[in-house]
Amino acid sequence: MIKFVSVGLTYPNLVNCLRNVNLHIQKQEFVFVVGPTGGGKSSLMKLIYRDAIPTSGKVFVFNKDIAKMRIREIPFHRRRIGVIFQDFLLLPHKTAFENIAYALQIRGASGRQIGQLVPEVMDWVGLTKRQKSYPHQLSGGEQQRVCIARALVNKPDILLADEPTGNLDPDTSKEIMDLLVRINSRGTTVVVATHDENVVNDYRKRTIVISQGQMIADRTEGGYLNAEEAANA
């Protein structure tokens, strides 16, 4: 589903973000991408949802070379990928319901579809009673649930979570991670970029370690950085 072949990414300011990354993520997999801040985790995510293209090597998503994708194809590529961030990215003047409906509205969904799909997904993430609340009236965990619901409402094949628990306390982090695991169990491929050691160690999922732009480990049994990796990071 996602394949990186000798991928390098250098930004125009000549900062090397990724160097010779090779990886293959299968359909329905749950993968952690771990490593220190600035190590290249977010850049790896950006390549998947085509917010950047590799300066060397190739990235295939849904069997398509993202570098050969035309500009007008990008929106349709992104409709198959849900993305959530540490800083939530919610519209402050819209309610939780409206924020989620927004993702459907830009695809031209009808009022009836919105009325059916949004309550369904809100129920699924546990926000049924918060439909009319504005973001500032929601806790951090609830805001992240709204983001997850917005990402899920389009029924994506891949869910990318870039530091989804970065702004949350441990209990709420666990709730969000449980939710992501549930999403994965429904058949969605989930990629979580994090530097939260506890989260990675608790869930024991496949873990890819990235440091200074290089993939230094790919552990199917999971687990955060070992002593050697931490020393190299």
Partner 1 sequence: MRSMLFLFREFLSSLALNRFLHFTYGVQVTISLLVLGIFLVLMLGAAVIWNRVGNNLLIHAYMSSTMTETGILQLKNELEQMDHVHDVEYRSQSDALAIWEAKNPHMDLGILESDDILPASLIIRATHPRYIQGLAEQIKSMPGVEELRYGSEMVQNFLKVMMILISIGAVTILLLLVFTASSISNIIGMSIYARRTEIRIMQLVGATWWFIRWPFLFEGVFFGTVGAIVASLIIWALLLMMSEALKLSELTLALPYFGLNTGGIFVVLALLLLSLGGLVGFFGSLRTVNTFLGRETEVNLDALRVRQLTR
Which residue ranges make up the site for partner 1 (CB under 8 A)? 10-12, 49, 51-56, 67, 71-72, 75-79, 83, 89, 91, 93, 102-103, 105-108, 110, 150-151, 154
CB 136 within 8 A of CB 145: no
- The C-alpha atoms of residue 120 and residue 110 are separated, in whole angstroms, by 16
Q: Within 10 A of 195 (CB to CB), how many other CB atoms are there?
A: 18
Q: Give whichever of 148 and 200 is closer to partner 1, judged by the CB atom.
A: 148
Residue type, 100: I
Q: Give whichever of 105 and 232 is closer to partner 1, judged by the CB atom.
A: 105
CB 154 within 8 A of CB 124: no
CB of 68 to partner 1, least distance (A): 10
CB 28 within 8 A of CB 22: no
Q: Which residues pair with 61 in a beta bridge?
A: 2, 64
Q: Give whichever of 108 and 187 is closer to partner 1, judged by the CB atom.
A: 108
CB of 220 to partner 1, least distance (A): 30
CB of 48 to partner 1, least distance (A): 12
CB of 91 to partner 1, least distance (A): 6
Show the tokens assigned to 61. Answer: 């998503």
Q: Give whichever of 50 and 205 is closer to partner 1, judged by the CB atom.
A: 50
